[in-house]
Amino acid sequence: MTSSSSIPVAARRRRRVLGWFGAEDATAETTAPATGTVAQQRATVFRRLFDDIGTLIFSHALTPSPCAYGVLHAYVSGEDPGTGAAVAEQLRSGQGLTDASLARIAARDDEAQAGALSRIADALEERIGDCLAAVGESRGTAETFGNALHVEAGRLSSDPKGTISRIIGLTEAAVAAARLVEGQLHHAREEADALRNELHRARQAAEHDHLTGLPNRRNFEQRLRESIGGTDETAAVVALIDIDDFKQVNDRFGHPAGDRVLRFFAAFVRAGLPRDVLLARYGGEEFALLFKGMSLDQAVAALDTVRERLAQRSLVHQDSGELIGHITFSAGIAMVAGEEALTAADTALYAAKNRGKNQIARADR
C-alpha cells in the first residue's frame, strides 16, 4: 500500500472528493514526484481541480453555471472556509447539492455583508442629515438674533431700559437655542462614532477568518501586494504551510475536533513567531506567512523552530479523552522577489510533501 506521505496535496484533495461518490480512481495514488516546469506542474494541479469540480457538478446533476463553479471551487480548493463549511454541511445533511442550495450558499455571505454595509451607510446618511439640519437651524437662529439686535439698536436712544431688557431676552433665547443644537450635534457624533466602530468590525470580519481569528487569504494577498509594490527595500520572505494528514483528524474525530485543532495550530504558530510576522489562514488546513526584514535563512530557522516544537506536542480529544496524537506541518518558503513568490512557495510545499512531510522546502530561484 502506498504511503500517504508521498501524495501531493492536490492529489489527496482529488481522492477525497472522488471518494465521496465511489469513483473508480478514488484510491489511486501516485508516488512519482512532480516533473516538468513549474508552469506544467501547476497546469496539472489546476486540471485536477477542474476535474474534481466537474465530478461534483455531474454527480449531483447540477447546472454547470458560474454560481455552481464558484461555490464548488471555494469548497474543493479550501480558499473560502465559510463557503466550504456550508457545502460540507449540505453534503452531510444527506439532501445532496442542488442548484437552489448552491445559490443560497453563494448569496448568504454576500447578502449578509451587503445588508450590514447598507444599514451602516443608511444610518450614517441619516446622521449626516441630522448634523446638516442642526447646523442650518443654528445658522437661522444666529441670523434672527443678529437682525433682532439691529432693530433694538435703533430703539436704544428712545427706550434704553426696554431695549436692554429685550436684548437680554433675545440673548437668553439664542443661548438656549445654541445649547439645543450643541446637544443634537453631540448625540449625532456619538451615534456616528458607534457606526464607525461597527464599520470597523464589519471590515475586520471581511478580512479575518472566523474560525481562527487570523487574517484571511484576501487580507494576506493584499498585504503581500503592498509589500511587492511598495518602496520599502527591506527583504521579505513568503511561506505556505499545510498541516500534514489533517483529513485523518476530521475522519476519526469529526469536524468539531478538526476545528479545535485548527484553532490550536493557529495559536501555536502565531505564539512561536515574532509579532511582526504576518500569519494568515490561506484556506482549509493551509496557512500563509510573510516575514519582513528577514533573510531566507532567518525565516527558515524561525519557522523550523516552531515545526520542531509542534511535532513534540501530543493532542487529546477533549470530549472523549482519546489520543489525537502529534500534529506536524510541511512548508514551502521563498524570497519575495516579485508576484511569483507564492507560486514558488507553493511548488516548494509540494516538494516538502513528496519528500516525506514534516519539513520545510526552500524554493529554487
- Catalytic positions are 285
The string over 153-189, giving b where at least 16 C-beta atoms fall within 10 Å of a residue's C-beta and e elsewhere, is eeeeeeeeeebeebbeebeeebeebeeebeebeeebe
Segments in the chain forming alpha helices (H): 9-19, 38-59, 66-77, 81-92, 99-155, 160-207, 217-229, 246-253, 255-272, 296-311, 341-354
How far is the C-alpha of 146 from the C-alpha of 23, rounded, in Å?
Answer: 87
* Contact by Cβ (8 Å): 99, 63: yes
The residues, any chain, with a CB within 8 Å of residue 288's CB and separated by 6 or more, are: 217, 220, 238, 239, 240, 241, 279, 280, 281, 282, 342
Q: Grid coordinates representing 115?
A: 445588508
> What separation in angstroms does the CA of 210 have from each of 69, 121, 213, 255?
23, 24, 6, 15
Q: Which pairing describes strands 286-292 and 236-243: parallel, antiparallel, or unpaired?
A: antiparallel
How wide is the angle at C-alpha 253 spanned by C-alphas 247 and 259, nearest 5°? 70
- The pair phi, psi for residue 323, each rounded to 5°, is -75, 120
Q: How many CB atoms lie within 10 A of CB 256?
A: 12
What letter would DSSP give residue 74? H
